[in-house]
Amino acid sequence: MNRVDAARADVGSAAKAVQLAFPYRLAAIDIDDTLVGPDKAIGDANRQAVQRLQQAGCRVVLASGRDHFSMDIYQRRLGLDDFVVSSQGALVVHPASGHQLWRLALEAPLAVELLQEGRAAGFEVLLCTDDGFVAATRSQWAPAGGRRLDASVHVLGGDLDALAHQGPLKVLWYGAPAAVASHSRRMVEALGERAEVVITTAHLLEFNARGATKAAGVAAVARHYGIDQATVLAFGDSHNDVSMLGWAGLGVAMPHAVPEARAAANVVAPEAPAESALAVAVESLLSR
């Protein structure tokens, strides 16, 4: 064996050793404020962290409240080609193949009720459908209005009343943070077991079908690949990550996570800037 072949053998042996030592086989990663920082870009450190997880024998999937089209943009930026857990776990689909593992939409009567009540309360209402986010044609969110969370999020203009009767994946109320907080408490009490109610950002209150959570979506991916729950990792920071962090074999909350996410997780990642906290968390796990 020459020196080049010997070096390659050493590298291969080292990679196998890492895979054997690392007990996790699936990592579910939230996008906003976990994979990406405030600028919505994937930093080099986090990109390398995803690669390191893969090299350790861990499959990586993205799990977000976003629609699966915008999520596919991020997974292609990472070089991933897998299922995405979108719309808070209401839909699990492979964007490239269209293969659907899981779908749990709102029942039409409840969606219509939430649309009407959101409007009456003064919120801007959006729907998330299989075709993406939809706002009223004259809304500030519609294409003519130009409002965007970032370049990857596209909002269609459409007839919300008609779409609500078809049973969308979720309903979103957009408004002032104080109104979102107060209506969140009221709607949790009013809806009870009828829906999942979660604040995703200070300005957004979102409603999913009961049982449509990131935990359910990630569990569907794990079942599909025959991966045991104990060997699933989850990384997140917000209220809609709570179920996923609590369900995973190891839930890792970002250092800037909301208190509920920190409480649900097994561990809280070391302090680091939002744009690189994921990388610090992965390094901490791999160096154990």
Mean pLDDT by 10 residues, the chain (288 residues): 47 45 96 93 96 96 94 94 96 94 97 97 95 83 54 84 97 96 95 95 96 98 98 97 98 97 96 94 91
What is the pLDDT, as a whole number, of residue 19? 52
Q: Tell me which fold the domain 108-209 belongs to.
A: 3.30.1240
CA distance 84 to 68: 6
What is the pLDDT, as a whole number, of residue 6? 46
**Type of residue found at 49:** A
CATH 3.30.1240.10 in the chain: give the residue spans: 108-209
CA distance 186 to 114: 13
Question: 3-103+213-286, superfamily in CATH?
Answer: HAD superfamily/HAD-like (3.40.50.1000)
What is the pLDDT, as a whole number, of residue 75? 94
What is the pLDDT, as a whole number, of residue 288? 75
* Cα-based distances in Å from 84 to 10, 78, 260: 35, 13, 24
CATH 3.40.50.1000 in the chain: give the residue spans: 3-103+213-286
What is the pLDDT, as a whole number, of residue 89? 96
* Cα-based distances in Å from 79 to 54, 152, 227: 11, 16, 22
